[in-house]
């Protein structure tokens, strides 16, 4: 990474929990302006939910033209799924709205059911998502209590690896998926297939194509770099 942000840079940022992807873009753009005086375009490839952490690819200046190609890359996630309940957003950002039985869940049943999700399939995006509907973000409509009906999208789940299983209520998996896959929707659908409820309690994106979160900077580390190496003063 160098300081020619107008000429174009690809930036790997480790997004903190509680930030939207747009928060990260705005912060990076402001830091570049503050320390370098450059007013540059900044965009990102692949939106992460506020609750999620992990790899967010940003591009500046002329490199923003490469964002579309980056968005098309496969993604890798680590996700923790809670069984026995559902939430409207399919994650812990909203309150539990229904409780379900979990006594029937076994390791064998979960392993068998996970295999059914491998391959290409149609997935209904969550109502609480950044998808646009009638000119608005779906999550804005959902929060207003309005009816949100999103069309199914073809996705592909290429790999599912169980990292830990604490029966009967918690599962952590690593997934490799195609562009457009919602892990919250995967949790919802897994719960349905298992005849229980399910929602995400943790989500971290670890890779996009060949880019890995191990090579990403935190917001603070990025600020330290531009303030030390790129300052106009």
Is residue 51 within 8 Å of residue 203, measured between CB atoms? yes
CA distances from 191 to 129, 185, 196, 212, 220 (A): 19, 10, 5, 29, 38
Name the nearest CA neighbour of 172 among 99, 106, 98, 83.
83
Cβ-based neighbours of 41, under 8 Å, separated by 6 or more: 60, 61, 64
Contact by Cβ (8 Å): 4, 51: no
Q: Is 214 assigned a catalytic role?
A: no
Catalytic residue among 14, 49, 91, 189: 49
Residues near 149 by beta carbon (within 8 Å), at least 6 away in sequence = 133
Tell me how far apart the alpha carbons of residues 231 and 233 are, in angstroms, rounded to a whole number.
Answer: 5
Say if CB 174 and CB 202 are below 8 A apart. Answer: no
Nearest to 211 by CA among 59, 93, 19: 59
Q: Give catalytic residue positions.
A: 49
């Amino acid at each position: 990474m160098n300081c020619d942000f107008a000429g174009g840079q690809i930036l790997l940022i480790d997004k903190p929990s509680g930030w939207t992807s747009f928060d990260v873009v705005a912060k990076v753009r402001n830091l570049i302006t503050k320390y370098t005086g450059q007013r540059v375009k900044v965009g990102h490839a692949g939106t992460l939910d506020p609750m999620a952490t992990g790899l967010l690819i940003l591009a500046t200046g002329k490199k923003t033209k490469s964002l579309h190609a980056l968005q098309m890359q496969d993604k890798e996630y680590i996700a923790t799924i809670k069984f026995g309940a559902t939430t409207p957003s399919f994650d812990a950002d909203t309150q539990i709205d229904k409780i379900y039985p979990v006594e029937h869940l076994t390791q064998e049943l979960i392993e068998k059911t996970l295999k059914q999700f491998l391959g290409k399939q149609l997935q209904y995006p969550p109502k609480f998502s950044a998808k646009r509907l009638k000119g608005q973000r779906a999550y804005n409509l959902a929060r207003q209590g309005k009816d949100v009906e999103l069309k199914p999208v073809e996705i592909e789940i290429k790999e599912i690896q169980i990292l830990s299983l604490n029966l009967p209520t918690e599962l952590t998996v690593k997934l490799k998926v195609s562009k457009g896959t919602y892990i919250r929707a995967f949790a919802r659908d897994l719960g349905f297939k298992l005849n229980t409820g399910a929602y995400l309690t943790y989500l971290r994106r670890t890779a996009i194509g060949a880019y890995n979160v191990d090579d990403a900077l935190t917001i603070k580390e990025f600020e330290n770099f531009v303030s030390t190496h790129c300052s106009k003063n």
